[in-house]
Structure 1
Amino acid sequence: MPSTNDANEGALGAYRVAIRGKPSLTLHQYNSQAMFRRNDTQDFMDAVFTDEDHAYIMREARRIDSSREEARRREEIVDFRIKTAEMQKTKALAKARKMRRTCRTTLPASLYHCVPNLLVNSKYPRKADKLAVLKEAFRWYETILEVVPVIVEELRDEEDGEMEE
């Protein structure tokens, strides 16, 4: 449960609002600005800082910005997202292959899992629609039955080839 009723309240909400207003603002810059506002740093700077102190602060800020810490952090995030997308794609392909294999060997009772565009029985309101879809599914299943022996032979050949290596 959120700590407040408003998603824009709190530290994370303030960050979200700031990023919405300034999309290129880095996390380091946001943290610096937030600390500046929270700690009343301006009053301290007005009372104590000299021109040399201001120059030093500006120089350090430029040094930190030029160190490309934020760019490296963003690159890591992008790399992670790319890696995650590749893993999801691989997983989806494996799932599709598995589904194809199981559809080639399943019984007609479970056709609706394998036949493209075949909905569950309750989705067809009329008996004629159900019958037409069922006939199409059986036609599809019969074509699969013709293909299965060829696929089995191919798989055996692949396994034999792997065993020889």
Structure 2
Amino acid sequence: MKRALIAILTLLAFCQIVGAAKTATPKGSAQGDLIPKAKAFFQHYVELEHAFDPAIADLYSDDAVIKNTQYRADGKIVPLTKPVAKYKQVLRDYMKTKARQIGDVSNYSNDTYSVEGGKVRIKVTRYSSIEKVSSPVSMLVGPDATGKWLIYEELSESHQKR
């Protein structure tokens, strides 16, 4: 039971952050357009999360890097990298079942946006309604070759209560 809870909390930490911009984002948009589009993308992500919509998994690139640092109750710090295909499937399944049942949503604050090449780094503080803890989340988002906005990198933390 404890392992299942840890797995769910880790998944929650991974799934919390950044949203999706409109898929019709024009290709080759100007740098000045990137931050407003990233803000719209993040807002869409939050809306999908709060609606427990499994489509949130479609916001991740098939090549996304998903990293989570677990701070365990025994003081151990465990860095994890999740294969994106498995992560997307677990996220879809979780949203369809457990997330709604337990009211697993997060609130975000302290958002910052900075351009990195043709993408945008979004940094937020996530407050988990389940974990009752705030933790930093960083996502790298931007348009793919067709103009569809995706998450290319997600860096997060999860904390177990002592």
Q: Larger Cα Rg: Structure 1 or Structure 2? A: 1
- Determine which structure has greater relative contact order: mean sequence separation of CA pairs < 8 Å that are 6+ residues apart, divided by chain length: 2
Q: Quickly name the TM-score band, shorter chain normalised.
A: under 0.3
TM-score normalised by the chain length of structure 2: 0.22
TM-score normalised by the chain length of structure 1: 0.21
Structure with greater helix percent: 1
